[in-house]
Structure formats: C-alpha cells, structure tokens
C-alpha cells in the first residue's frame, strides 16, 4: 500500500518524551501527515510542547496532569488553568487505580473533576483520558451531559463499562498493543465504529524493541481494518473522518 495515501491520526502521543529523537519525530509527523495530539504529563512542561507546535500543521499540543503524578505535582494544578485558555486539547488526565491508597485515589478524583469542570466551561475541549483500573469512576466523573469531546485512551475496562462510556458519548483511541492482545481486540470489536480513533501512546507502546512513533498509528489502522473486515484504505479514511468530527466545534 502507498503509505502516503491517507493522513494518519495519533490521538495520544508523548512527543516530549522522545529525548534526542524529538526533532525527527516532529519532522516525521509533518512529512507523513499524522494528526497528532501531543499530550503532556505536567503543566510545567506544556510550554515546551506548545513551542514545538508553532507553525506545525499536524501537531496539537495538549495540557495535562497525569493521574500518577497527581500526588507529587498537584501544586501545579494552578498552572494548568491559564494554559486551558490557550489550547483546545487536554491530556493526559484521568484516574489510575494501580495505587491502593484510597486517599490518593480521592485526590486523583478531585483533580480530574476540577479539570473536567473547567473544560466544561469552555464547551469545546478535546480531552484524552487515562482510565486504568478506574473506568467506572472515570465514566461517573464525566457524566452523561459533558460539553466537549472525551477520548478514552487505551481503554481496558469491562464490556459493561465500555457500553456505558459509549452511551455517554465517549470516543476511544486504539493503539497497536490493544489490537495485538485478545482482550483488547474483544473490546475494540464492541466500540462504536463512528467513535474510534487511533493512537500510539508513544514512546510507551513498543513496536519490536523501540518506542512507537506517530506513523505507527498505521499499525492500529491495519488492525482495525482486520476487525472491521474492510480494506486498510477505507479504515484509514474512516479514522480521519472520525478525527475531524471529534475536533469539530
Ligand atoms: Mn500516555
């Protein structure tokens, strides 16, 4: 297949965590035309990603506070609000219940709810959300009337939770690792096709022994084409159309 045939979508990538490869990753995003939501893990690093995105066509800088950093970085929450006025893209935010510390889980919920509430005030924010072992509480925090676009990244909850998330209007971004695992693929089969996007979660997702880069979203497109039993080109066009609807105001 001609790899330049369609624009790709990487709805969740940590562009700022590629170290010395960062410049070539950014260059490749533009050259290969990969619409990339560049998530950040703390407000103090957002300015860097925002600067990377200047004069770029395919890079969408997102302001975030990762749930696993809420304990050590919650003091940065006040630095998040001004950036929320600068970009429509928000992430990585959400909940992570790998911790069994109930106080910490509560602190994560307080931070996530505060961010959702400010986003709702704008009404058009596009939020990429982490929900490891916490899908029910993430869905409850979003609620059924949220104004904006919520993308559940690397969703790994139950079938029932997936159905609830779909019912309240959530989107799902799917990466190559999800497609490769049996449980991940079973969830992907249940996702509403008109609310599925691709992602890499690079550099955390691995392709062989290297960190995934945005153009590896093509692997997710190929996997989805198999699940949906259709030509890769059609899936690619469908994902791009989904992305345009996801970010439309
Ligand atoms: Mn991530």
Q: What separation in Å is there between the alpha carbon of 230 and the centre of ligand 1?
A: 29
- Provide the residue ranges of all domains of the chain, joining segments of one domain with +: 8-247
Q: What separation in Å is there between the alpha carbon of 114 and the centre of ligand 1?
A: 20
Q: What is the pLDDT along the chain (249 residues), one digit of tens a residue?
A: 455 579 999 999 999 999 999 999 999 999 999 999 999 999 999 999 999 999 999 999 999 999 999 999 988 999 999 999 999 999 999 999 999 999 999 999 999 999 999 999 999 999 999 999 999 999 999 999 999 999 999 999 999 999 999 999 999 999 999 999 999 999 999 999 999 999 999 999 999 999 999 999 999 999 999 999 999 999 999 999 999 999 998
Q: What's the pTM value of the predicted model, to 2 decimals?
A: 0.97
Q: What separation in Å is there between the alpha carbon of 39 and the centre of ligand 1?
A: 7
Q: What separation in Å is there between the alpha carbon of 17 and the centre of ligand 1?
A: 10
Q: What separation in Å is there between the alpha carbon of 38 and the centre of ligand 1?
A: 10
Opening angle at CA 94, ends 37 and 69, nearest 5: 95
Q: What separation in Å is there between the alpha carbon of 92 and the centre of ligand 1?
A: 6
Q: What separation in Å is there between the alpha carbon of 68 and the centre of ligand 1?
A: 11
Q: What separation in Å is there between the alpha carbon of 12 and the centre of ligand 1?
A: 7
- Residue 86 DSSP code: T
- Residue 67 DSSP code: G
Q: What separation in Å is there between the alpha carbon of 203 and the centre of ligand 1?
A: 9
Determine the Cα–Cα distance for residues 200 and 13; give it in Å rounded to an integer: 6
Ramachandran category for residue 177: left, alpha or beta (phi over 0 → left; psi -120 to 50 → alpha): alpha
Extended beta strands in 14-101, E state: 34-38, 59-63, 89-94
CATH number corresponding to 8-247: 3.20.20.140
The CB-based long-range contact list for 111-115 (8 Å cut-off, 24+ gap) reads 111/65, 111/67, 111/70, 111/74, 111/77, 112/67, 112/138, 112/141, 113/141, 114/77, 115/65, 115/80, 115/90
Q: Token pair for residue 51? A: 């600067």
Q: What separation in Å is there between the alpha carbon of 186 and the centre of ligand 1?
A: 21
Per-residue pLDDT tens for 181-227? 999 999 999 999 999 999 999 999 999 999 999 999 999 999 999 99
pLDDT of res. 4: 54
């Amino acid at each position: 297949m001609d790899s330049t045939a369609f624009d790709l979508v990487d709805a969740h990538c940590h562009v700022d965590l590629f170290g010395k490869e960062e410049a070539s990753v950014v260059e490749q995003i533009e050259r290969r035309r990969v619409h990339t939501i560049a998530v950040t893990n703390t407000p103090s690093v957002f300015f860097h990603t925002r600067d990377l995105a200047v004069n770029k066509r395919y890079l969408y800088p997102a302001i975030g506070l990762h749930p696993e950093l809420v304990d050590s970085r919650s003091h940065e929450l006040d630095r998040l609000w001004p950036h929320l006025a600068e970009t429509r893209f928000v992430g990585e935010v959400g909940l992570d219940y790998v911790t069994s510390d109930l106080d910490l889980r509560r602190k994560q919920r307080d931070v996530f709810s505060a961010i959702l509430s400010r986003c709702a005030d704008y009404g058009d924010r596009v939020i990429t959300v982490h929900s490891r072992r916490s899908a029910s509480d993430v869905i409850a925090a979003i609620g059924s009337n949220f104004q904006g676009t919520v993308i559940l990244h690397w969703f790994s909850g139950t079938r029932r939770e997936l159905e609830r998330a779909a019912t309240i209007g959530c989107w799902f971004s799917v990466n190559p690792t999800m497609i490769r695992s049996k449980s991940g693929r079973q969830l992907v089969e249940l996702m509403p096709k008109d609310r599925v996007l691709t992602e890499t979660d690079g550099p955390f997702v691995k392709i062989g022994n290297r960190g995934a880069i945005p153009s590896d979203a093509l692997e997710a497109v190929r996997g989805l084409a198999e699940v949906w039993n259709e030509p890769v080109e059609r899936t690619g066009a469908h994902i791009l159309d989904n992305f345009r609807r996801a970010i439309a105001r």
